[in-house]
Amino acid sequence: MSAPVIKLLETPEEMTAVEELQRAVWPGSETDVVPAHMLITAVHNGGIVAGAFVEDRIVGFVFGFPGLESTPDGPRPKHCSHMMGIRPEYRDSGLGFALKRAQWQMVRHQGLDHITWTYDPLLSRNAHLNIAKLGAVCNTYRRSEYGDMRDGLNAGLPSDRFQVDWWINTRRVERRLSKRPRRLLKLDDFSKAELHPFYETHASSTAGGWIRPPEHFSPLEGHLLLTEIPSDFNALKEADFPLARDWRFFSREIFETAFAAGYIVTDFVFDHGRSFYVLSNGESTLQP
């Protein structure tokens, strides 16, 4: 595969190509497609649309726009990253990381230091990119953020989302985006850490051996917690939709409880086919 070229998009023709790309990435619901005229309006008013091209064909994009967030000192500007989409055949190629790194550079050039976006917390591929590789953190869980979604990837389950915070001028983020990024964590890294896992999962009896969430979890204790999620939630939905629904409601309970107790998602581990969020309470973390 030729090395992708990433560039800012500005013309109506380019926005039409992004509109068509959305249909390939999220099939099944025309109402969820951001139209070209809205993309044009956004980029003419401080928004950013960047596209990734392979041999002059657009294969991925990222789209965001300026926003405001409430703080004790009043409204504060930020960048709201609304969408990132990559053609299925180019996923897991590093293209998502390259697009977000380009966005990081462009937003810093605008003088902003904070980017937020949402994603489904049960999607381990997204968690691996957003939390482990990019260095975003999260302590905000939003129930049914987008209401009932009808596209092929989201239909049938509540659209619960993490809202992540990407503090783009921090050492944490700069290190992860550097030419010598931080090594990704493995489960063995926690053997000497102060760790109190607050629940365990076990393989279900369904064909395929999907893990099943427990019915209850113990009170949250310790400075560092691990919580497991399915490693391929989309495949689980296709194989056992009731079990996928159980995971949605269990993960809602576990994360809302943890965030209310002061925990924050600071890392993500994918190791030996298993996927874990790392939650820290206070200043505890293994690495920045």
The pLDDT tens digits for 72-116 are: 999 999 999 999 999 999 988 999 999 999 999 999 999 999 999
Query: 17, 51 in Cβ contact below 8 A?
Result: yes
The pLDDT tens digits for 140-194 are: 999 999 887 665 556 679 999 999 999 999 999 999 999 888 899 898 888 766 5
Provide mean pLDDT across the span 205-220: 80
Over the chain, what is the mean pLDDT?
A: 90
For the CA atoms of 135, 84, 258, 278, what is the dihedral angle to 10 degrees?
A: -40
The pLDDT tens digits for 258-282 are: 999 999 999 999 998 899 999 998 7
Q: Which two tokens stand for residue 170?
A: 């921090």
Query: 249, 243 in Cβ contact below 8 A?
Result: no
Q: Which two tokens stand for residue 144?
A: 């049914």
Neighbours of 57 (CB within 10 A): 11
Class of domain 5-176: alpha beta
Amino acid at 276: F
pLDDT beyond 80 at 196? no
Q: Which two tokens stand for residue 239?
A: 């194989």
Helix boundaries (H) for the chain: 12-25, 36-43, 95-109, 124-127, 171-176, 233-239, 241-260
Query: 50, 102 in Cβ contact below 8 A?
Result: yes
The whole-number pLDDT of residue 188 equals 86
**Per-domain residue ranges of the chain:** 5-176, 187-281
- φ, ψ for residue 246 (rounded to 5)? -60, -40
CA 132 to chain CA centroid, Å, is 10
Provide mean pLDDT across the span 19-45: 92
Strand 137-142 vs strand 161-167: parallel, antiparallel, or unpaired? antiparallel
CA-CA distance, 124 to 132, in Å (whole number)?
11
Find, among 107, 234, 81, the residue nearest to 164 by Cα: 81
Amino acid at 100: K
CA-CA distance, 57 to 52, in Å (whole number)?
8
Q: Find where tokens 């294969």 sit.
A: 59
